[in-house]
Amino acid sequence: MSLSQLMLGPNVVLCNAASQTYPSCNTFTHALSFFNKIEGSQATARQTAELLRSVISQQRVPYTNQAGALIDAVKAIGEQLIAANPVELAVGNIVRRVLHIIREEDLSLTTAAIGGLNLSAVSDDENDDDRDGDSTLSAAAVAAAARSTLRPPSLQTLLEDTPVSAAVPQTSSSGAADKSSRSRKLKHDVIEAVNELIQDIVTCHEQIAEQAVEHIHQNEVILTLGSSRTVLEFLFAAKEKKRSFRVFVAEGAPRYQGHLLAKELVARGLQTTLITDSAVFAMISRVNMVIVGAHAVMANGGVIAPVGMNLVALAAQKHAVPFVVLAGSHKLCPLYPHNPEVLLNELRSPSELLDFGEFSDCMDFGSGSGSPLLHVVNPAFDYVPPKLVSLFITDAGGHNPSYMYRLIADYYSADDLVVQRRATAGN
C-alpha cells in the first residue's frame, strides 16, 4: 500500500488530522527518493525526526493501549520512509529511536502509575495484608521481568538509581479521567523526548568536536578521505584551541569531495595537502592519525563509509596508524551487516566515472553479441570491518568498536529491529 493510495482512501476524508500529515510525508518520501535532495545523514535524520514528531502529535490515541497506537502509526510511516531510500540508514535509525522513546515513556508512566497505586494501596488498605503483599510482589516481579527481557542490562541501567518499570497491562482500577490525562501525558512526554532527540542530532557536530583537543596534538599530521561535516568541525575545533597541525586530504574519487574539504580547511587557515586516493599508501607512513567520517556504523562495529575507505584503513593498519571514525549517534545502526558490499551499497551513475559521449561507441549494443563489453560500476560505499577501526568518537564519547553493540542497546529496543507492521496491524 503506497502513500498515494492511503491518500485516496476514504480514511483521509474521515480524518482531517491525518490528511494534513500525509502530504508532508509524501513530499518527504519523494524528496528522499528523488536525487537525494536532502544531502547528508544529519539533515535526513533531522527531517525524519521532525516528520515523526508531527505524525505523533496528530495521531489520535484511543483510551486503551495508547503506546501501541503510537507505535503502529510511527511504524506505518517509518516503513515507507525506509522503503523510499533503503540505503540511507539514518532514516531507519531515527524511526527505531522514536519507537524506543515511545516504549520508554510508556514504561516510565506505567511505573509511576503503579508506584502511585501501590502507595495508595498501602495507605488505604492497611488491614488487608494479603492484598498488599500480593500487589507489591506482582509489581516487583514484573519489574524484574522487565529488567531481564525488555531492557537488557546495560551500564546505564545498572548504575541508575531510579526503579525500572515494567510494561504491565493496564490495571482495571485506573479511572477514565486518569486515562485521558495519562494519554495526554504520554503524547506530551514522547514529543518532548523527540525534541530532545532532534536537539541531539542538531548539536552532534559540536559535541563530537568538543573532544577534538583530546585527540589531536601539536604538530601532528592528520589524514582524511573525502568530505564530512563532522570531520571539518572536528578539525576546526582543534585549530581554534591553538593546536597547529597539518592535514592530508585524499580527494575521494569519483565525487572528489576532498577538493571541497581542502578549500574549506584552507579558508580557516589550516595547513592542507591534497593527494590522490591512490597516493594514500605512500603518504601513510608520515601520518599520525587517520580521522574520517562515516555513512553508518553497524552493530558489530563495522563502518559503511565512502568508497576507498577500506584501502585507507588497510594502509593505516599496515603502518599502525590509529584509524578514528567520527559518527553522530544517529548513525549508529542496530543492524548487523550481511553482505554489506551489495545490500547496504548504492550504485551510482557511471557518468561520474566517465563521459558518456566519449565512450558511447563502447556501448553500442547494435553490433556484436548484443551485450556490451564495457561495464561501469560505481559503488558509493565501502565496508570497513571492525578490526580495522581503532576508535569511534560519537557525541557520547570515544568507544572501542567492540563496545558498539552496548551503545546500540541503549538507544534501541530489540522489538524494533525489524520495522515492519505485523500482519494484524496492517489490516
Out of 1, 11, 13, 23, which residue is the one contacting other proteins (CB under 8 A)?
A: 23
Q: How far apart are CA 185 and CA 99, in angstroms?
A: 17
| Residues between 368 and 387 that touch other proteins (CB under 8 A) | 368-372, 375-378
Contacts of 140 (CB under 8 A, 6+ apart): none
What is the dihedral sign for C-alpha 166, 168, 172, 176? positive
Between residues 7 and 112, which has the closer beta carbon with respect to other proteins?
7
Out of 360, 373, 423, 427, which residue is the one contacting other proteins (CB under 8 A)?
A: 360
Query: What CA–CA distances, in Å, run from 78 to 29, 73, 81, 230?
Result: 10, 8, 5, 26
Between residues 30 and 131, which has the closer beta carbon with respect to other proteins?
30
> Are 318 and 356 within 8 A, CB to CB?
no
Between residues 310 and 378, which has the closer beta carbon with respect to other proteins?
378
| Residues between 82 and 101 that touch other proteins (CB under 8 A) | 83-86
Peptide bond into 385 cis (omega under 30): no
Between residues 242 and 375, which has the closer beta carbon with respect to other proteins?
375
DSSP 3-state percent helix, strand, coil across the chain (nearest 5): 60, 10, 30
Q: How far apart are CA 201 and CA 43, in angstroms?
A: 9
Stretch that binds other proteins, among 52-60, 213-221, 305-313, 346-354 (CB under 8 A): 346-354
Contacts of 255 (CB under 8 A, 6+ apart): 226, 306, 352
Of 413, 321, 334, 323, residue with least CA distance to 90: 334
Of 295, 345, 299, residue with least CA distance to 325: 295
Between residues 69 and 83, which has the closer beta carbon with respect to other proteins?
83
Between residues 30 and 241, which has the closer beta carbon with respect to other proteins?
30
Q: Work out whether 358 is an interface residue with other proteins (CB under 8 A).
A: yes
Between residues 39 and 361, which has the closer beta carbon with respect to other proteins?
361
Between residues 254 and 322, which has the closer beta carbon with respect to other proteins?
254
Out of 10, 16, 35, 424, which residue is the one contacting other proteins (CB under 8 A)?
A: 35
> Are 36 and 85 within 8 A, CB to CB?
yes
Stretch that binds other proteins, among 2-10, 64-72, 108-116, 204-212 (CB under 8 A): 2-10
Out of 1, 9, 11, 30, which residue is the one contacting other proteins (CB under 8 A)?
A: 30
Stretch that binds other proteins, among 32-40, 64-72, 273-281, 397-405 (CB under 8 A): 32-40
Q: How far apart are CA 33 and CA 2, in angstroms?
A: 14
| Residues between 303 and 342 that touch other proteins (CB under 8 A) | 341-342
Q: Work out whether 426 is an interface residue with other proteins (CB under 8 A).
A: no
Q: How far apart are CA 292 and CA 324, in angstroms?
A: 6
- Copy the grid coordinates of residue 391: 576508535
Binding residues for other proteins (CB under 8 A): 2-4, 7-8, 23, 26-27, 30, 33-36, 83-86, 341-343, 347-352, 355-358, 360-361, 363-372, 375-378
